[in-house]
Amino acid sequence: MAAFHPTSWHPIKRPTIWQSRKQRNLCYNNSRIYSCCSSQPTWKTENNTFEQVLREYDLQPLRRRTINTVQINIGLYCNMACSHCHVESSPSRKETMSPQVAERIIQLISRTPSVKLVDITGGAPELHHMFRPLVLALSAMGKKIQDRCNLTVLLEPGQEDLVEFLATHQVDIVASLPCYEESNVRKQRGMGTFEKSILALQLLNRWGYGQGEGNKKLYLVYNPVEPQLPGKQSTLEQQYKKQLAEKFHIQFDKLYCLTNMPIQRYRKDLIRQGQLDSYCSLLEQSFQAENVKHVMCLDQIHISYEGTLYDCDFHYAVGLREKYQRNIWQVEHLDSLCNDHIQTASHCFGCTAGFGSSCQGSLVSE
């Protein structure tokens, strides 16, 4: 197992509130529908329309095939508070991963050879105490690492060496950029964000990211600003590459198109606009059976900052735990999660609608 040094680096101003083991156990022994924080509402699974549609198409209930991707939510603190953020991160959030949880995750990954990719998300992952120790340990194990980056974090005070650190350890960047037009980015992510994002992308390019070869991949993420499905990923990618290259001399490797899930902040926005029912109907009516065999939960597991297991990031956001209510101290290796039934809920239509959606973009060929 790779050496893990949780005290090898400390950010200047970051959250330090960790749950004690006693507090974690209280959460783990909670009821069937898990909600560790008051901001994470319980998610009821009665009248599961998604399961009904699977039966209508003679599709079997979802079971996990393998674990080749581990997604880690390192904590909810973020320097931004984007309107589409399904985990409701913001500068006021204090939740963050403890050294004990981080060390146990490293231990489990080291025992699971099938894991090829570790996807670190948040919040702003880079601003949490355990981010760099996790990257160092995973890099030493030879695992591919992805950092889900909001771009503006690269320009934060105290993070002047962050891009160098990411490049040195060949951490791929998955960066949110809702549009190549300033007005659309401002609507979703706030004033001044577009300019900072452009500067951050140019900085990444200077460090060798997004050049189409090598191990420093730069992926951009598109979310529709309006309540609609993403267009064709390949077409949007061409538009992004053309506009960013011509206007800002920016290069990147690939565009990921993600469907907005009708949960948390985005759900509240839809309610305010009076569009929740129509958007949910759009997702359901756009169901494509071909997408089901490609959904990301079949091959990955999500681990929250306090060590609880979920089938996906969206289930974590609404507090829907994996079927057997386990945490990282209740499994000896992640392969033991294979063949488990995967929980579903109505927001799962977001993954199966249209061209499909996952943390790696569209699911099927267009």
3-state DSSP assignment of residue 334: helix
- CA–CA gap between residue 328 and residue 305 (Å, rounded): 11
* Helices and strands, number each (H, E), in the chain: 13, 8
CATH class of 21-352: alpha beta
pLDDT digits (tens, 9 = 90+) for 233-261: 999 999 999 999 999 999 999 999 999 99
* pLDDT surpasses 60 at 37: no
pLDDT digits (tens, 9 = 90+) for 127-147: 999 999 999 999 999 999 999
Amino acid at 253: D
Confidence of residue 111 (pLDDT cuts 50, 70, 90): very high
Strand partners, 119: 71, 146
Identify the DSSP state of 39. Answer: T
Domain ranges of the chain: 21-352
pLDDT digits (tens, 9 = 90+) for 250-297: 999 999 999 999 998 889 989 999 999 999 999 999 999 999 999 999
Whose tokens are 């809920």? That residue is: 345
Q: Beginning with the edge strand found earlier in the chain, give each strand of the sheet holding 117-121 in spatial order.
A: 254-257, 218-222, 172-176, 144-149, 117-121, 69-73, 300-303, 309-310
Q: What is the 3-state secondary structure (H, E, C) of 52-109?
A: HHHHHCCCCCCECCCCCEEEEECECECCCCCCCCCCCCECCCCEECCHHHHHHHHHHH
Q: Residues of the chain with pLDDT > 70: what percent? A: 86
pLDDT digits (tens, 9 = 90+) for 333-353: 999 999 999 999 999 999 999
- CA–CA gap between residue 11 and residue 214 (Å, rounded): 29
Give burial (CB, 10 Å; 0-12/13-18/19+) of 173: buried
pLDDT digits (tens, 9 = 90+) for 193-238: 899 999 999 999 999 999 987 789 999 999 887 899 998 999 999 9
- CA–CA gap between residue 335 and residue 337 (Å, rounded): 5
Contacts by 262-267, CB closer than 8 A, 24 or more apart? 262/347, 262/350, 263/86, 263/314, 263/317, 263/318, 263/347, 264/85, 264/86, 264/87, 264/88, 264/317, 264/318, 265/82, 265/83, 265/84, 265/85, 265/86, 265/88, 266/83, 266/84, 266/86
**Cβ count within 10 A of residue 95:** 25
Amino acid at 138: L
| 8 Å CB contact between 146 and 171 | yes
Mean pLDDT of the chain: 86
